[in-house]
């Protein structure tokens, strides 16, 4: 008797056989036609960019056999901004306002790696004031917390764990409030500048940060209680998106994805910058090499970041009145910045300071702001450990007042290579989990 449902035992298939299709943005018809010509039961579908879990900016081309993913490829470019090219037409300081907008969930890391490269070209790495370095570490670790909160919140939302999403964004708002207090903006700060930071901490900032630390120490355990041993949550993540150490090394994968294989690679420890060698914290690893391990790493890293933030606050308490910008007036801009009482523009005291010294001082300030300083010819690359992995800026100077070239090694772009390996052979529903565990930010991918 024939089977009315057409079921049969599938045989082994050689994945290297058959025609190969290189998928670009305009050849959807040829891809579908090519698969149809093969005469098997596989279909090709677009998952995104309109799919909720790809957030309108990532396209996944999936070849499916039933519910099983046989091939997965990424289509990127939906958030292209031309930031790197635009930076070639702005002064070195103005470049900060562009690169901060790339990975919009960790803007302060974008600013930091760019400024570290510029400072290396200028030869002033050892001249950055201590308070500026401590403030940079403080802001980066607060930013790491806010970024991981979004990763866990959006990942939970895509899995249907809506409580994880709501409490994740609740805590992130507290971090953004601190950013607004310190830098004046909730994101896209342009606060870390070549030579230091834009301005000193406002009155009461340290007290607000201490209150935040105390509150987060109470709230972070909520995530652990809600998710770590939750059988439904664990079953959705355990064994999904598996990627071992050899695969990570072959593809250049960094960050939580790499550390979930058990390798304790963290640039803050292995190649310290901004004085990280003076802080007490542990590199977080896991040994499952799957989505669950990446979730646990991000959860644990927020605890470690809180420890670093606490140490920064303690150090800043003893640096009251210390400078936050290099003393070289050929580089230090803006000088003696103070915001007006309305929260906009320069204060009258600041204007009097610049205009009241001398005509030469006013001319120098005008030229420094409009034309910028010159950077000696050369190139530099100083990576930092962003929430997603190694983020580095390759900065090239031809001796002028603008970057000859600025190119960023963004971890989201590199880590997206793991999509195929994590997804192929698994169920189509697990593609969402795999992508969420990578935590890509497409603003950093497309640039």
Within-domain flag for 133:
yes
Within-domain flag for 271:
yes
For the residues 372-395, what does the mean pLDDT come to?
A: 92
Number of domains making up the chain = 1
Domain containing residue 253: CATH number: 1.10.645.10
Say what the pLDDT of residue 175 is.
Answer: 93
User: Is residue 403 very low, low, confident or very high in pLDDT (cuts 50, 70, 90)?
Assistant: very high
Within-domain flag for 127:
yes
Within-domain flag for 172:
yes
**What pLDDT digit, counting tens, does each position of 292-316 carry?**
889 989 999 999 999 999 999 999 9
Within-domain flag for 419:
yes
Max avg pLDDT among 48-52, 231-235, 248-252, 356-360: 248-252
Within-domain flag for 11:
no
Say what the pLDDT of residue 36 is.
Answer: 60
Query: Average pLDDT of the chain?
Result: 84
Distance (Å, whole) CA 220 – CA 174: 13
Span between the terminal Cα atoms of the chain, in Å? 60
Within-domain flag for 341:
no
Say what the pLDDT of residue 235 is.
Answer: 85
Torsion angle of alpha carbons 183, 184, 187, 189, nearest 10°?
A: -50
Distance (Å, whole) CA 309 – CA 183: 16
Within-domain flag for 33:
no
- The residue segments making up the domain with residue 244 are 83-333+372-446
* Residues 6+ away with beta carbon under 8 Å from 245: 258, 261, 262, 263, 289
Predicted TM-score of the model (pTM): 0.84
What DSSP assignment string belongs to 220-255?
A: HHHHIIIIIT-HHHHHHHTTTT---HHHHHHHT--T
């Amino acid at each position: 008797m024939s089977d009315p449902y057409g079921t049969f035992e599938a045989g082994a298939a050689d994945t290297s056989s058959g025609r190969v299709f290189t998928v670009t943005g305009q050849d959807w018809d040829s891809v579908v036609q090519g698969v149809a010509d093969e005469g098997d039961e596989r279909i090709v579908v677009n998952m995104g960019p309109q799919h909720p879990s790809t957030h309108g900016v990532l396209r996944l081309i999936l070849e499916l056999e039933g519910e099983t993913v046989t091939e997965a490829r990424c289509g990127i470019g939906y958030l292209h901004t031309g930031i790197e090219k635009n930076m070639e037409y702005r002064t070195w300081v103005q470049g900060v306002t562009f690169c901060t907008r790339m990975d919009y969930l960790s803007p302060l890391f974008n600013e930091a790696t760019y400024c570290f490269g510029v400072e290396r070209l200028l030869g002033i790495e050892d001249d950055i004031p201590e308070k500026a370095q401590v403030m940079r570490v403080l802001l980066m670790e607060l930013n790491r917390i806010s970024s991981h909160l979004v990763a866990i919140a959006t990942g939970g939302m895509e899995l249907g764990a809506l409580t994880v999403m709501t409490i994740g964004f609740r805590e992130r708002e507290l971090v953004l409030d601190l950013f607004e207090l310190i830098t004046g903006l909730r994101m896209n700060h342009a606060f870390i500048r070549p030579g230091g930071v834009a301005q000193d901490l406002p009155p009461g900032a340290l007290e607000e940060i201490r209150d935040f630390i105390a509150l987060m120490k109470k709230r972070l355990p909520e995530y652990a209680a809600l998710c770590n041993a939750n059988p439904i949550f664990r079953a959705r993540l355990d064994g999904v998106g598996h990627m071992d150490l050899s695969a990570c090394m072959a593809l250049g994968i960094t960050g939580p994805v790499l550390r979930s294989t058990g390798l304790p690679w963290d640039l803050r420890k292995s190649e310290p910058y901004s004085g990280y060698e003076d802080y007490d914290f542990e590199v977080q690893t896991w040994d499952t090499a799957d989505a669950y391990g990446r979730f646990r790493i991000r959860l644990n890293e927020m605890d470690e970041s809180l420890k670093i933030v606490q140490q920064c606050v303690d150090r800043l308490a003893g640096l009251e009145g210390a400078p936050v910008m290099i003393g070289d007036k050929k580089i230090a801009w803006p000088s003696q910045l103070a915001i007006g009482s309305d929260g906009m523009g320069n204060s009258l005291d600041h204007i009097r300071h610049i205009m009241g010294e001398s005509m030469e001082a006013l001319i120098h300030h005008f030229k420094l702001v409009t034309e910028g300083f010159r950077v000696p010819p050369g190139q530099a690359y100083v990576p930092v450990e962003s929430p997603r992995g190694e983020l580095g800026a390759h900065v090239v100077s031809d001796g002028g007042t603008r970057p000859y070239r600025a190119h960023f090694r963004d971890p989201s772009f590199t880590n997206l290579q793991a999509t195929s390996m994590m997804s192929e052979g698994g169920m189509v529903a697990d593609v969402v989990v795999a992508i969420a565990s990578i935590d890509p930010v497409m603003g950093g991918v497309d640039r």
